[in-house]
């Protein structure tokens, strides 16, 4: 179900007093006026965390699921409206051994079943993005159940990206726009070709396919774009995550492995984010240089 950004009513909770003393110490250094609205996290390093302890990979994932709950609860205490976690990519689904995929699916189900009460206690709402219809039916059923159980909550929206790939999301959005065009022609009782020709093909396509309309066809249409992307375990890549939506996001990479990541580290990443100057392709506040209408001559350049 889609909703507009405006229809989402977020209720601030003022639960900072529930933070740990360490979290609170960093939280109190933040500028309350410049908190991010949306943080997205690429949770990486479960396997390495297990490997370092000579444990099996599945134990790394299990510990990673614990981190999810800690981080989500801190997010809700600091009134973060949107938290999106990259929990299972399309590529994970296609390229990981079947038994690891099966384990991740079981872990997801068990996470949802055992945490719905805590989510309700923390006013957290569950949502999902990705080709979730391709996941096993019993996993989809549990996901839907958890979303229904938490749908009235008005605090943090926790979105799990599951069977998610950003390129496939953009492909799905393009297909949706094409379907809309066909449905419009059908409704008007004419062919798509005649409908477009009547308005001039270029103009007709431009008016139906532009940035706002493509954006509105993404899985994330109802959310603001992420302000901050965090990636754990030190890899400096985006791995097909929210490529369209993070066009102007700040990126924070930490060497910490996901199973060691806690709410404190989320707040530290936000503190780092607040040191950045966001420019959205424009100029920073400190720039007041005036430009001349002409390029300098070679002689002028040589004199500098």
Contact set with ligand FPP (CB under 6 A): 43-48, 61, 64-65, 68, 87-88, 92, 107-108, 111, 160, 233, 258
Q: Residue 49 and residue 1: Cα distance in Å, rounded?
A: 37
Dihedral over alpha carbons 40, 241, 161, 135 (to 10 degrees): -170
CB atoms within 10 A of CB 279: 11
CB of 96 to ligand FPP, least distance (A): 7
Tell me the residue number closest to ligand FPP, measured at CB.
47
Least Å distance, CB 281 to ligand FPP, is 32
What is the closest distance, in whole angstroms, from the C-beta atom of residue 91 to ligand FPP in the complex? 10
Decide whether 100 or 272 has the Cβ nearer to ligand FPP. 100
Cα–Cα dist 215/213, whole Å: 5
Measured between alpha carbons, how far is residue 16 from residues 32, 222, 230 in Å? 12, 27, 22
Q: Provide the 8-state DSSP code for 227.
A: S
Return the number of the residue (26 or 107) whose C-beta is nearest ligand FPP. 107
Judged by beta carbon, residue 39 or residue 43, the one nearer ligand FPP is: 43
Contact indicator for 179, 168 with CB cutoff of 8 Å: no
| Burial category of 154 from C-beta neighbours within 10 Å (exposed 0-12, middle 13-18, buried 19 and up) | middle
Short-list 235, 291, 226, CA closest to 39: 226
Kindly give the residue spans of alpha helices, DSSP state H, lying in the chain. Answer: 21-27, 46-52, 57-77, 90-95, 98-121, 137-150, 166-188, 192-199, 201-208, 211-216, 263-273, 298-303
The catalytically annotated residue of 14, 31, 79, 92 is: 92
Answer for the pair 71, 266: CB distance below 8 angstroms, yes or no. Answer: yes
CB nearer to ligand FPP: give 39 or 87. 87
Is 92 a residue of the active site? yes
Cβ at position 89, least distance to ligand FPP in Å? 7
Catalytic residue among 44, 93, 122, 227: 44
Decide whether 83 or 107 has the Cβ nearer to ligand FPP: 107
Please say which residue, 52 or 206, places its beta carbon nearer to ligand FPP: 52
Q: How far is the CB of 43 from ligand FPP (least distance, A)?
A: 4
How many other C-beta atoms can be found within 10 angstroms of the C-beta atom of residue 14?
Answer: 9
Give the nearest distance from C-beta 159 to ligand FPP in angstroms: 11
The helix/strand/coil state of 197 is helix
The Cα 263–Cα 78 span in angstroms is: 10
Tell me how far apart the alpha carbons of residues 258 and 179 are, in angstroms, rounded to a whole number: 40
Q: Which residues are catalytic?
A: 44, 92
């Amino acid at each position: 179900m889609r909703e507009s950004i405006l229809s989402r009513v977020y209720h601030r909770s003022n639960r900072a007093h529930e933070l740990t003393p360490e979290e609170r110490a960093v939280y109190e250094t933040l500028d309350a006026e410049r908190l991010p609205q949306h943080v997205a996290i690429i949770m990486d390093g479960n396997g390495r965390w297990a490997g370092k302890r000579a444990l099996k990979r599945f134990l790394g994932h299990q510990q990673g699921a614990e981190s999810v709950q800690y981080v989500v609860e801190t997010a809700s205490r600091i009134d973060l409206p949107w938290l999106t976690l990259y929990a299972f990519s399309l590529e994970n689904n296609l390229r990981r051994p079947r038994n690891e995929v099966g384990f991740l699916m079981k872990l997801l189900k068990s996470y949802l079943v055992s945490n719905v009460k805590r989510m309700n206690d923390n006013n957290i709402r569950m949502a999902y993005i990705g080709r979730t219809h391709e996941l096993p039916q019993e996993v989809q059923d549990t996901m839907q159940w958890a979303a229904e159980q938490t749908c009235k909550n008005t605090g943090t929206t926790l979105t799990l990206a599951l069977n998610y790939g950003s390129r496939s999301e953009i492909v799905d959005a393009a297909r949706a726009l094409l379907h809309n065009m066909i449905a419009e022609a059908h409704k008007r009782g004419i062919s798509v070709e005649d409908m477009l020709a009547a308005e001039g093909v270029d103009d007709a396509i431009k008016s139906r396919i532009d940035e706002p309309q493509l954006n509105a066809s993404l899985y994330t249409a109802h959310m603001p774009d992420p302000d901050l992307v965090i990636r754990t375990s030190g890899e400096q890549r985006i791995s097909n995550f929210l490529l369209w939506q993070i066009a102007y996001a700040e990126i924070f990479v930490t060497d910490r492995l996901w199973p060691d990541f806690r709410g404190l580290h989320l707040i530290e990443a936000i503190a780092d984010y607040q040191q950045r100057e966001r420019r959205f392709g424009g100029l920073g506040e400190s720039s007041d240089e005036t430009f001349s209408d002409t390029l300098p001559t070679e002689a002028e350049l040589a004199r500098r």
